[in-house]
Amino acid sequence: MFFTAVAHAAEPGISVSLSPYVLGYIGVVPITSTLVTAWFSILLLFSFAWLLRRRLALVPGHVQSLVEMGIGGVYDYIAETLGGKKYADRYFPIIFTIFIFILTFNWVGLIPGVGAFGSYDESGSLIPWLYPSATDINMTIGLAIVSFVTIQLAGVIGIGLWKYIGKFINFSSPLGFAIGLIELVSELARLIAFSFRLFGNIFAGKVLLLVVFFFAPYIAPIPIYGYEIFVGLIQAVVFAILTLFFIRVAIEEPH
């Protein structure tokens, strides 16, 4: 809370930007604070995975038990939902990574100090080094594309290319054609729904926290923090679960 106050002391009022903060460029590629946060989250996850892997034992400790319960539980749930371990082996890594990645960068974004440390640009505005990744639409669109491509590939692999295309382009009857078109539009709309749902929730949470910090910096942010931790978890679950269920719909034979 202290660092947040210092950071915002340089700016009059609340400053909110829809576009990500650019820290610099590597060649022509912009390096944003949300991208750095994503890298930091990846580093955290890799470190945790590496440490856990070194200590894996047939008789598990507390941490290993929790991880086993999470991974084993999700794997079984995916196998049950998709109708077999064959599908779980194929899609579990993507679905679970979506969940754990979103959860990690959402929670990393809530660590006090994130968004407070940074450097000032020429206009005197703070450019934070770290910033919640999901407040960057590029991140959520990226994940939405991953999810979208996974769903389409699952459909093609699951029931075959022509049958899958036949779900959307159907000349058997005028009604079938119309339904196919609606399916196609709703399929494409998922890209927008996926990306903007996550972006909107986390961005709104960040704005809410900024507003509360600005008007009532003591005590009041605590329940908001609790709520945002919950929102971070829920959004991760929703993104992963929706991907799973759309995969299930995609691999079902057309009626």
Partner 1 sequence: MDQLISAFGIDWQLILLQILNFGLLAAGLTYLLYKPVLRLLRERQERIEQGIKDAAAAEKMKQNAEAEKQSILATAHTEAEAVAARAKTHAEERGQAIVGEAQGKAEQLLQQAAAAGEEIKARSRRESEAEIAKTAILAAEKILQERASS
- Dist CA 182 CA 180 (whole Å): 5
Cβ neighbour number for residue 160 with a 10 Å cutoff = 12
**Of 81 and 166, CB closest to partner 1:** 81
Beta carbon of residue 101, minimum distance to partner 1 (angstroms, whole number): 6
Beta carbon of residue 240, minimum distance to partner 1 (angstroms, whole number): 12
| Burial of residue 156 (number of CB atoms within 10 Å: 0-12, 13-18, 19+) | middle
Beta carbon of residue 123, minimum distance to partner 1 (angstroms, whole number): 17
Beta carbon of residue 6, minimum distance to partner 1 (angstroms, whole number): 26
Instruction: List helix spans (H) across 109-173.
Output: 137-159, 161-166
- H or E element: which one contains 219? none
Sequence length of the chain is: 255
Contact 251, 159 (CB under 8 A): yes
| Beta bridge partner(s), residue 25 | 30
**Of 148 and 168, CB closest to partner 1:** 148
Dihedral class, residue 59 (left if φ above 0, else alpha if ψ from -120 to 50, else beta): beta
**Of 67 and 165, CB closest to partner 1:** 67
Beta carbon of residue 116, minimum distance to partner 1 (angstroms, whole number): 21
Closest CA to 133 of 162, 154, 156, 103: 103
- Dist CA 13 CA 7 (whole Å): 12
Report angle CA 95, 80, 57 to the nearest 5 degrees: 70
Binding site for partner 1 (CB under 8 A): 18-20, 28-30, 32, 35, 38-39, 42, 45-46, 49-50, 52-53, 56, 58, 67-68, 71-72, 75, 92-94, 96-98, 100-101, 136-139, 141-143, 145-146
**Of 191 and 212, CB closest to partner 1:** 191
**Of 65 and 227, CB closest to partner 1:** 65
**Of 70 and 223, CB closest to partner 1:** 70
- H or E element: which one contains 61? none
- Dist CA 137 CA 18 (whole Å): 8
Beta carbon of residue 211, minimum distance to partner 1 (angstroms, whole number): 20
Beta carbon of residue 19, minimum distance to partner 1 (angstroms, whole number): 3
**Of 10 and 56, CB closest to partner 1:** 56
